[in-house]
A and B are shown apart, each in its own frame.
Chain A
Amino acid sequence: MGDGPLVQTVGLKKYFKTGRELLHAVDDINLSIAPGKTLGVVGESGCGKSTLGRTILRLIEPTSGQIYFDGEDITGFRKDRIKKIRSNMQIIFQDPYSSLNPRMSVVEIIAEYMIVNKTWPSKAQAWAQAAKLMDLVGLARRCANMYPHELDGGRRQRIGVARALSLNPRFIVCDEPVSALDVSIQAQILNLLMDLQEEMGLTYLFITHDLSVVRHISDEIMVMYLGQCVERSNPDALFERPLHPYTRALLSAIPEPDIGMRDKAIEVLKGEVTSPISPPPGCRFAPRCGQARERCVASDILTVEADPGHHVACAVFEGAGRAGRQGHPQRE
């Protein structure tokens, strides 16, 4: 253990084969998350945010690049070693309706990982631990023998959280954990995740398309567009001074629950998201961007640090700031 980031990726890429072409789902992502912190990843459907989360956990094999966990390069780990490291890295899925086995009871679901990993000498002990986890996430013990279909979305998501915590992980990928829930239940789960982080020092990669949620929970935010990181910054700077035209459009498109904002100008984007299959060089947002120039489609855009800690990949800022590819993490 060091003072370095808990999770780090360097030039991480994941391309999927589609016929003869390649779909660039995750394209050259560099990120680092310090222990106990939350990196929020926002973007619209199809921008590669879930693939990124799964590639970091090596649930999906990366095409190239490195993944570091606690200073160790886990990219080339074989099955047995990755299995060991996985108890430290967990995931909470988006859909609490399809990510739980309908034929297992609540306590069985929560205890399953512990039984598979032989964390406890006996099943009974694993079940006892599962009951403790239920208390931790606020699930009544009377639910222990119920099946997922008997529970509502919020309770199901609590099962997902309890299961992810069962192996005492240090890092959790939260893949849209509240998107399927109603606002009042969403708030309960967000509070729970933040409380757990404080108590147990957890590190989160929080994937969401909801900008108000991401601002609430994150220490740093990364905005993704078609597999690439277009902007990365702390939440306040990102929301108060968004630099990338896509981030600006995204922020202006959120309908705010404030009637005074009714006439705020919305930067409506032209057209639809372009295809991530064999994308041309240059900025992938250029076809929808109001400020697109020749430079934008000529060659790939460099990421620069426009302000301290505020990275952006846009031709407008290329000359300014300190160039460096996404503030490339310095590795020894």
Chain B
Amino acid sequence: MGHKLLEVKDLMVDYRTDLETIHAVNGVGFGLDQGETLGLVGETGAGKTTTALAIMRLLPERTGRIVQGDILLNGASVIEGTEKALQRLRGETMAMIFQTPMTSLNPIVSIGNQIAESILLHNTQGRSEGEIQQRVDEVLNMVGIPPARKKEFPHQFSGGMRQRVVIAIALACEPDLLIADEPTTALDVTIQAQVLLKIRDLRDRLGTALIMITHDLGIVAQTCDNVAVMYAGELVETGTARDIFTSATHHPYTRGLFDSIPRLNQKVRRLRPIPGLMPDPTDLPIGCFFSPRCPQARPVCREERPPVFSSGSQRIKCHLFGDQEGFAQAGP
């Protein structure tokens, strides 16, 4: 195989309305190998979900627009795909788990039938009704729900179980790529631990590549191989999880994120929050998007778009690294 499972190249996504244009994603590029887990981290409005929706080609039809860039799945462009081809890809090759397990299931269809639906839609092996039901049982067992409960409806399950049903649907056709959009944000910690363990276990067993979208650095540290930090629609820093969590040098935004979270093992009197707010995506600053909030901003940061510098696995989009030892310019 000469190509990566997924390649996102210089992706730009806008939401256009009559009144304004929102620049949600501004030049995002990354690759993902078979079986790899990428953590996409950032705060509300950073463009994480938009990136995921663009990959799935599920952007809202009337407003969302991919203005630039390409998305290659197994070497073939998703952007040029027809709706029919896309429907085959979704579910079979790539699947997505949404944030709210309460709203992503159909309340009036039993969970067994909801799982069966996705198998039926991608029934390339010509499974019979009996075989499909057998597969439903298998998938339910896999996520730890007794198959005896498959005739029940979503409201009869707790939040954690509903999210596991959603995972079961996503995994029913054994996709190569799974995008999990804040899969545990709506859940309690002990239930979150169960769901994360399940996702990790299934990924290892099935060799699924995973994009884990989250704002929780703890989840990233515990589950991801590689990390991409997003801010205002850009990747400000990428690298292996080991480098992101242990390296001494970081993009000022990444540093700010780490400083904002209270730690369990060290007591600090005051947290050091990042001052200010994320820029308005309809009116992004000139120069570096983070410069208005950056404690280390220089004049050049407010005038020119920052290039990418790299050192080891780390790639940082910041002017400050131009004269940093060990860092070399790696891209515009």
A residues at B contact (CB < 8 Å): 44-45, 152-154, 182-188, 190-191, 194, 209, 211-213, 215-216, 239, 249-259, 261-262, 266, 268-269, 272-273
19 contacts between A and B (CB under 8 A): A153-B44, A183-B257, A184-B257, A184-B274, A194-B270, A209-B188, A211-B189, A212-B261, A212-B264, A216-B267, A249-B190, A254-B218, A255-B223, A256-B265, A257-B220, A259-B246, A268-B190, A268-B194, A272-B158
Bound CA span A213–B219, Å: 16
Chain B residues near A186 (CB, 8 Å)?
Answer: 260, 273
CB-based contact B188/A182 at 8 Å: no
The answer to whether B264 and A256 touch across the interface, beta carbons within 8 angstroms, is yes
A184-B257, A253-B189 given; 18 more Cβ-contact pairs under 8 Å: A182-B215, A184-B273, A185-B273, A185-B277, A186-B273, A187-B271, A190-B262, A191-B271, A191-B273, A209-B188, A211-B264, A212-B264, A239-B264, A254-B264, A255-B192, A256-B263, A268-B194, A272-B158
Hey, which chain B residues are within 8 Å of A255, CB to CB?
Answer: 192-193, 196, 216, 218-219, 221-223
In the bound complex, what is the Cα–Cα distance between A158 and B193 (angstroms)? 32
Given the interface pairs A258-B221, A259-B246, A261-B222, the reply to whether A187 lies near B188 with Cβ below 8 Å is: no
User: Which residue of chain A has the shortest Cβ distance to B270 in the bound complex?
Assistant: A191
**Interface membership of chain B positions 75-88, coded 1 if the CB is closer than 8 angstroms to chain A and 0 otherwise:** 00000000000000
CB neighbours (8 Å) of B155 from chain A are none
B256 within 8 A of A: yes
CA of A250 to CA of B194, assembled, Å: 12
Point out residues on B near A: beta carbons under 8 Å. Answer: 43-44, 158, 160-161, 188-194, 196-197, 215-223, 241-242, 245-246, 256-265, 267-268, 270-274, 277
Main secondary structure of the interface of A (DSSP, over half): helix
Q: Smallest CB–CB gap between B208 and chain A, Å?
A: 19
How distant is A40 from chain B, measured CB to nearest CB, in Å? Answer: 12
Bound complex: CA of A188 vs CA of B276, how far in Å? Answer: 10
Ranked nearest first, the 8 interchain pairs of A and B with the lowest CB-CB distance are A255-B218, A187-B273, A216-B262, A253-B193, A257-B217, A44-B188, A187-B271, A187-B260
Q: Are B189 and A266 in contact (CB under 8 A)?
A: no
Partner of B221, one of A152, A209, A262: A262
Q: A187-B273, A190-B271 are in contact. Are A257 and B189 (CB under 8 A)?
A: no
Q: For residue A249, which residue of chain B has the nearest CB?
A: B190
Contact in complex: A182, B43 (CB < 8 Å)? yes
Give the docked Cα–Cα distance between A258 and B258 (Å).
10
B189 pairs with A209, CB closer than 8 A: yes
Say whether, besides A152-B277, A190-B262, A266-B197, A259 and B221 are in contact (CB < 8 Å). Answer: yes
Determine the chain B residues whose CB is within 8 A of the CB of A252 once the complex forms: 193
Chain A residue nearest to B242 in the complex (CB): A259
Shortest distance in angstroms between A266's beta carbon and chain B's nearest beta carbon? 5
A-side contacts of B261, CB under 8 Å? 183, 187, 212, 257
> A249–B189 Cα gap in the complex (Å)?
9
A contact residues around B188 at 8 Å (CB): 44-45, 209
* A268: B residues at CB distance < 8 A: 190, 193-194, 197
**Chain B contacts of A44 at CB under 8 A?**
188-191
Contact indicator B189/A215 (Cβ below 8 Å): no
User: Which residues of the other chain, A, contact B259 by a CB distance below 8 angstroms?
Assistant: 187
Contact among A183, A249, A262 for B222, CB-based, below 8 A: A262
Residues of B within 8 A of A213 (CB): 262
Closest Cβ of chain B: how far from A230's Cβ, in Å? 13
Distance of A261 Cα from B223 Cα, bound (Å): 11
Selected from A45, A184, A250, A257, the residue in CB contact (under 8 A) with B218 is: A257
Q: Chain B contacts of A250 at CB under 8 A?
A: 189-190
A254 touches B189 (CB 8 A): yes
A196-B194 Cα distance, complex, nearest whole Å: 38
The residues of A that contact B277 with a CB separation of less than 8 Å are: 152, 154, 185
With a cutoff of 8 Å between Cβ atoms, the chain A residues found around residue B270 in the complex are 191, 194
- Using Cβ atoms and an 8 Å threshold, which residues of chain A touch B273? 184-188, 191
Quote the shortest CB–CB distance from B220 to chain A (angstroms).
Answer: 7
Kindly state the separation between the CA atoms of A306 and B273 in the bound complex, as whole angstroms.
Answer: 38
**A212 and B245: CB pair below 8 A?**
no
CB–CB B274/A257 < 8 A: no
Q: In the docked arrangement, what's the CA distance between A215 and B256, Å?
A: 20
**B161, B242, B264 — most chain A CB neighbours (10 Å):** B264
A181 closest partner in B (C-beta) = B44
**Residue on A nearest B260 in the bound complex, by CB:** A187
- With a CB–CB cut-off of 8 A, which chain A residues contact B160? 272
Do B221 and A269 have beta carbons less than 8 Å apart? no
Closest to B256 in A: A184
